[in-house]
Amino acid sequence: MLNYLRKRFASHITERSRRKARLVSKDGRCNIEFGNVEQSRFVFLIDIWTTILDLRWRYKMTIFISAFLGSWFLFGLLWYVVAYIHEDLPEFNPSINHTPCVENINGLTSAFLFSLETQVTIGYGFRCVTEQCVTAIFLLIFQSILGVIINSFMCGAILAKISRSKNRAKTITFSRNAVISKRGGKLCLLIRVANLRKSLLIGSHIYGKLLKTTITPEGETIILDQVNIEFIVDAGNENLFFISPLTIYHIIDKNSPFFHTAAETILQQDFELVVFLDGTVEATSATCQVRTSYIPEEVLWGYRFAPIVSKTKEGKYRVDFQNFSKTVAVETPHCAFCLYNEKEAKAKEKKGYDNPGFVLAEAGEATDTKM
């Protein structure tokens, strides 16, 4: 029992370390951080729009609320200063004939409320600017213009984040595992991808990158070395009709980095297969990219995907997503090299040449030879 628990704990630690070592998570997030960056963080303020869009919602809403509350309170202080300088406050005991710069400002609270009414154009009609002070008129104009700028920027940032094509990627899903089996007489690595919406992705393109650590002939160790993985779709790699789930596959031939991988050694490999799907959202014409990754434990050798599309009696096509990631064991060669040698041997057996002039002569009885 103790040995069993020890093995389970060791496997759990190994699996957890592998998850941490992933560059791209299953939902497409990149696990990378930058250290010792020489450039100042103020360079991100130069592209403030992208910085605001990349912030998480809790930080964005904090900035949104702080921007409005801060501007209301700041201009409230300015309106209070104007009323104080002009001696409009009750503490100065103004005369009956005194015309204030702003009607009905009696303190800091009423100045804040007037700032709020001015910037958001509520206009209760109880407080208003008079023509007595030029300073108050210019302050009113300046706050109105600045309020429009703040309102346009913050509301635009909220709308842009809501409508980002990144959210469209949430409705594109990949199979939980990749499988390796024969397809069309060739050993292939297969992945299933589905579009959960009926709206299409225009000009979709699927490709992959194999990330692994390699050592060059010069002895240099390259971490996260990228190797291109070409995926094929029966419907064509470009302009996919992505209305139903598709099975993409990579042919494991002599040019494939998986050619020397076998069923017994795949779990001993250290690689990460990152799959990309690029396309244009039909509704907004914005580009969209979906990412996922597979580590050796998520590549099943000797399996294929279960059928998922069927046709009902009414003539409609039905997609059963319960079988989306379901796999079925099939007979599969344990390595691509073996399949290649088997095909080559069969081809040599079938190859032969006939000689019509060749006659097989039977040997007769021996005759005596006279000397």
Residues 187 and 154 in one domain: no
For the segment 71-88, the average pLDDT, to the nearest whole number, is 93
Residues 199 and 75 in one domain: no
pLDDT tens-digit series, residues 221-272? 888 888 899 998 865 555 677 778 888 899 998 888 898 888 888 888 888 9
For the segment 91-98, the average pLDDT, to the nearest whole number, is 86
Q: Domain end: 135, 161, 187, which one? A: 161
For the segment 361-367, the average pLDDT, to the nearest whole number, is 52
Task: Please state which of the ranges 30-39, 270-279, 337-346 shows the lowest mean pLDDT.
Answer: 337-346
Residues 149 and 214 in one domain: no
Residues 253 and 106 in one domain: no
Residue 129: inside a domain, yes or no?
yes
Task: Please state which of the ranges 90-94, 117-121, 180-184, 362-366 shows the lowest mean pLDDT.
Answer: 362-366
Residue 72: inside a domain, yes or no?
yes
What is the per-residue pLDDT for 67? 93
Query: pLDDT-derived band of residue 70, with 50, 70 and 90 as boundaries?
Result: very high
Percent of the chain exceeding pLDDT 90 equals 28
Residue 359: inside a domain, yes or no?
no
Percent of the chain exceeding pLDDT 70 equals 82
The residue segments making up the domain with residue 173 are 167-348
Residues 97 and 204 in one domain: no
What is the per-residue pLDDT for 347? 56
Residue 131: inside a domain, yes or no?
yes
What is the per-residue pLDDT for 216? 81
Q: Domain end: 161, 182, 212, which one? A: 161
Residue that wins the pLDDT comparison between 156 and 35: 156
Q: How many domains, the chain?
A: 2
What is the per-residue pLDDT for 2? 66
Q: Residue 309 is part of a domain; what is its CATH number?
A: 2.60.40.1400
Query: pLDDT-derived band of residue 371, with 50, 70 and 90 as boundaries?
Result: very low
Q: Residue 136 is part of a domain; what is its CATH number?
A: 1.10.287.70
Check whether 179 has a pLDDT greater than 70.
yes
For the segment 189-218, the average pLDDT, to the nearest whole number, is 86
Check whether 345 has a pLDDT greater than 60.
no
What is the per-residue pLDDT for 245? 86
Residue 239: inside a domain, yes or no?
yes
What is the per-residue pLDDT for 294? 93
Residue 360: inside a domain, yes or no?
no
pLDDT tens-digit series, residues 298-341? 999 999 999 888 888 888 888 888 888 899 999 888 887 777 76
Q: Domain end: 130, 161, 192, which one? A: 161
Task: Using alpha carbons, select from 275, 129, 149 the residue that is nearest to residue 211.
Answer: 275
Check whether 17 has a pLDDT greater than 90.
no
What is the per-residue pLDDT for 7? 62
Query: pLDDT-derived band of residue 85, with 50, 70 and 90 as boundaries?
Result: very high
Task: Please state which of the ranges 30-34, 144-148, 226-230 shows the lowest mean pLDDT.
Answer: 30-34
Residues 332 and 203 in one domain: yes
Task: Please state which of the ranges 48-52, 154-158, 171-175 shows the lowest mean pLDDT.
Answer: 48-52
Task: Please state which of the ranges 5-14, 56-65, 131-140, 302-311 shows the lowest mean pLDDT.
Answer: 5-14
Residues 125 and 80 in one domain: yes
Residues 172 and 156 in one domain: no
Residues 135 and 189 in one domain: no
What is the per-residue pLDDT for 143? 94
Residues 126 and 217 in one domain: no
Query: pLDDT-derived band of residue 122, with 50, 70 and 90 as boundaries?
Result: confident
Calculate the average pLDDT of the chain: 82
Residue 1: inside a domain, yes or no?
no
Residues 54 and 132 in one domain: yes
Residue 179: inside a domain, yes or no?
yes
What is the per-residue pLDDT for 356? 59
Residues 154 and 181 in one domain: no
For the segment 68-77, the average pLDDT, to the nearest whole number, is 95
Check whether 280 has a pLDDT greater than 80.
yes
